[in-house]
Amino acid sequence: MRLNLFLIVGLFALMIEVNAQKGHGGQFKIVFYNTENIFDTIDDPNTSDEDFLPDSRVPWTSERYNHKLSNIARVLIAIDSVNLPAIIGLAEVENIQVLNDLITRTNLQKGDYQALLEEGSDPRGIDVALIFRKNVMKYIDHRTFPSAHSFKTRSILYVRLADAQKDTFHIFVNHWKSRTGGAVETESKRIENAITLKHLTDSLLRQHPKANLVIMGDFNDEPDNKSLAEALGAQKPDKKFNHAGLYNLMYDRFQQGEGTLYYKDWDLFDQFIVSGTLLSKKRGKGTVILPPYAYIFKPEWLLYKNKTGEMVPNRTAGSREYFGGYSDHLPVYVVVKSQ
């Protein structure tokens, strides 16, 4: 009996490993996660990375860097522990070497991911990035676009991938201007981010009205703020979908009071916005995002109890203290079914 039990356990572990390498049928997950500053420990003279060096006020050491990588990997694996997410968009990554460390020096290596990151003009040197499983998605191409022209900030990362059914995904990874300095005072910059993205999506949809657009990111605005609702034109999903329309999959969760980060109260800045083609109710053909469309990953181990008794994201560090947590944001994800 003991031998048989060991055999069963061994076979189960092998099945998990095979699934991690090959994916699972026609269903997979797409994730977005603001990782809260994945920096290496090396001084980059071209960026303001002085808060992430061994001699910083809150020392950023090799041990803490490796712990950060392991923590981020743990979160991403837990979102789909059997198959691993097929596509993962990330924010606040310092450079391509950090991204490669994440996918090769942690348990994410089981997913056989490829890393994409292009340096932007953000003064702090943080960029958006994307990793995808090479055995699940086929790489077509990628490039970056400035997300604003009047100020320096993160670029928009545009990636084209195809799934096993040869459906093409047009993915835009974003990290819009923060609210530092005040939400009202900085609103015009996020509206500029939105207008820039809108030009890109409109141009694409004019050429390919039924294109599968997946817009993800930390927008530093709520779904009903002017930048997203008006400038970008991201609507609340309804029963009828215009193929060339843009729909904010986080709208229902926002209206229910859910959030992805906590500052005095919950905010929902991390979102998925897709073209109507991906929300078609028809079954039997094509690729669809399954209802209820978008999820916030919020296990108890990602949280801690703050001074007011609220369970909030357990972050890595503050300006004066190291906590050793995960991120000040929670990840979001969607489930895609290829038919």
Contact residues for 301 (Cβ-Cβ < 8 A; gap 6+): none
Q: How far apart, in whole angstroms, are the C-alpha atoms of residue 246 and residue 277? A: 9
3-state secondary structure of 6: helix
Residue 238, pLDDT score: 84
Q: What percent of the chain has pLDDT over 70?
A: 91
Q: Tell me the CATH class for 25-338.
A: alpha beta
Give CA–CA dist 295/272, Å, rounded.
10
Phi/psi at 111 (5° precision): -85, -5
* C-alpha closest to that of 301 among 326, 268, 328: 326
Q: Do residues 201 and 234 make contact, with C-beta atoms less than 8 angstroms apart?
A: no
Within 8 A by CB and 6+ apart from 265, the residues are 259
Indicate the helix (H) or strand (E) that contains 72.
helix 62-79
More confident residue, 146 or 240: 146
The answer to whether 265 and 310 are in contact (CB under 8 A) is: no
Q: What is the pLDDT of residue 16?
A: 40
Q: How confident is the model at residue 281 (pLDDT cuts 50, 70, 90)?
A: low
Residue 280: predicted pLDDT? 77
Distances (CA, A) of 50 to 54, 123, 186, 202: 9, 12, 25, 39
The structure tokens listed for 83 are: 């198959």
Q: What is the pLDDT of residue 25?
A: 55
Closest CA to 270 of 334, 195, 326, 219: 219
Please report which helix (H) or strand (E) contains residue 17, including its range. Answer: helix 2-22
Per-residue pLDDT, averaged over 45-73, amounts to 96
What's the whole-number mean pLDDT along residues 130-137? 97
Alpha helices per DSSP H over 171-308: 183-207, 226, 251-255
pTM tops 0.85? yes
Domain residue limits, the chain:
25-338
Q: What is the pLDDT of residue 26?
A: 82
Q: Which of helix, strand or coil describes residue 310? A: coil
Taking only the tens place, the pLDDT of each residue in 93-107 is 999 999 999 999 999
Q: How many angstroms separate the CA atoms of 8 and 45, rounded? A: 54
pLDDT level of residue 21 (50, 70, 90 thresholds): very low
The amino acid sitting at 226 is K
